[in-house]
Structure 1
Amino acid sequence: MYEPTAYEITTPHPWTQPPATAARPVILPAEIPPGVDWVTLPNGVRTLAYTQPAPPPPIPVAAAQPIPAWAKTTALLAPTVGVGIGAAGIGLSYAAPGLIAMSHALWSAAALVVAAVIAVPVLIRTARRAVGGSGAGSGGSTTHITQNITATGLFGRANGTINHR
């Protein structure tokens, strides 16, 4: 079982000095644990006591620098550019059906131009043969026109002659 032990507590009085014959323990500086240091009490007695660690030196705060103009401009333009790109995307999504129809129309127009370039000379050649006959037996005469043009230099004046035969 548990048996209480009695201890005698003695407290030295501050007005009494310890006897001169009492040996005080000697503590070397290397044996002092961290956070403990020698302090001098108000009555002049030096003793070991727990001390607060020294506060770290304050970090020097630099003076506030003004914001450069290019940074302000970039910060103001970034949302504007983003909104512009977003609006362009929305506009393209609304215009997509019309753009698809226009691309189909352009392909149709290109096909019509190619067909006209091929078909018109064939039709003209066919119409000439039908109107002019077979050539030698029809009695028709053909006129040959020759044109000679000469020019000197890149921007020189051009001279030409036309011959009817």
Structure 2
Amino acid sequence: MHEPTRTRTTEPARYGDPVLYPTAIRQPAMPLAELPPGVEIVTLPGGYRALAYTQPAAPAVAPVGQPIPAWAKTTALLAPTLGGGIAAAGFGISYAAPGLIAMTDALWAAITLIAAGALAPLLLRAGRATGGRGGAPVQHVTQNISASGMFGRASGTLNNR
């Protein structure tokens, strides 16, 4: 549906020309000054002009802004900081992951070394005690190693007693 177009101009002379429009209905033209308030000349979709009652345009009212609460400002300022901190932590963890894997491998190796050092004497004594001879004599092995300089060749002696 078409809305009429509002104009406040006088009717063109071509509509009043009996040569161009011999079948046009001739109505007396009303001066624009005599139009009552709320009445205007409108152009209809077919090109005809007519008088019509119009609604006065409502004045635009600007919305009244409300102040922003302090907690909202604080939250808005902290959100990027918190997000940046989380991003930095994730970035650091991604770089530290290979080192953490290596450290866990080293930790397991240290745990097995400690466990082997603690259990080895118990297993050796248990193995010697079997055989019915009682405990075997304890052997002492000493080793002396010396080297000259940082990259010098090491030499040493081994004593079994």
Q: TM-score, normalised by structure 2?
A: 0.44
**Rg larger in 1 or in 2?**
1
Q: TM-score, normalised by structure 1?
A: 0.43
